[in-house]
Amino acid sequence: MPSSSPPTSALSNEALAAIGASVRARRKALGISAVAAAEAAGISRPTLHRIEKGGSSVTMGATVQVLVVLGLTVTLRPQEDAAAQPATVSRRGWLPARIRITDYPWLKQLAWQLHGPQELTPREALGIYERNARHLDTAALAQDERDLVEALQQAFGDAPGGASHV
């Protein structure tokens, strides 16, 4: 039988709850079921549930694996700085399986012919950015869309016929 987890302070419990809430919110925002997220992370669904509830008995490895699968990162800093600055989540280099055009204003504008809650594969999204590069104002891109374009270029830019022009 595994040993019980050590007692945690109120501050530790708050941090675990915040991580869990962020994981759940991100999973829901991506439209991923708990079963699919758990399978992708290589853990059981009950373990994912304990992570989302801020459970202290879950291993750090399992928690970090879920963060990676959902494209989340954790930034650590001394406690005295934590109150002054909110935690940041970076998606730099992360590539989603499906890209909702409504989440990226310039992609939505460039893919004007698509209607409704259209989702694209990463390769389709890069194709739209590349074919319409002359209409794209890269300086006006929001940071999340700039990160998406950079990740798309890293993933597919060197592929045959996929020379990047964005």
Q: Is residue 139 part of a domain?
A: yes
Res 53: pLDDT: 95
CA distances from 4 to 8, 46, 74, 116 (A): 12, 17, 26, 50
Tens of pLDDT, residues 68-116:
888 888 887 776 654 555 555 555 666 778 888 888 899 888 888 877 6
* Pair (71, 105) in one structural domain: no
The percent of residues in the chain predicted with pLDDT above 90, rounded, is 27
Phi first, then psi, for residue 64 (nearest 5°) are: -65, -40
Last residue of a domain, which of 25, 56, 82? 82
Tell me which of 120 and 166 has the higher pLDDT: 120
Res 38: pLDDT: 93
* Pair (71, 124) in one structural domain: no
Name the average pLDDT for the chain: 81
Res 100: pLDDT: 85
Q: Is the pLDDT reported for residue 61 higher than 50?
A: yes
Q: Is residue 124 part of a domain?
A: yes
Q: Is residue 4 part of a domain?
A: no
Res 49: pLDDT: 96
| Confidence category of residue 43, pLDDT binned at 50, 70, 90 | very high
CA distances from 162 to 55, 103, 115, 151, 157 (A): 45, 24, 26, 14, 5
pTM (two decimals): 0.48
> What is the residue range of 113's domain?
99-156
Tens of pLDDT, residues 98-110:
888 888 899 888 8
Res 92: pLDDT: 62
Tens of pLDDT, residues 145-161:
888 888 888 888 754 34
* Domain of residue 16, CATH code: 1.10.260.40
Q: Is residue 40 part of a domain?
A: yes
Q: Is the pLDDT reported for residue 62 higher than 90?
A: yes
* Pair (78, 107) in one structural domain: no
* Pair (147, 117) in one structural domain: yes
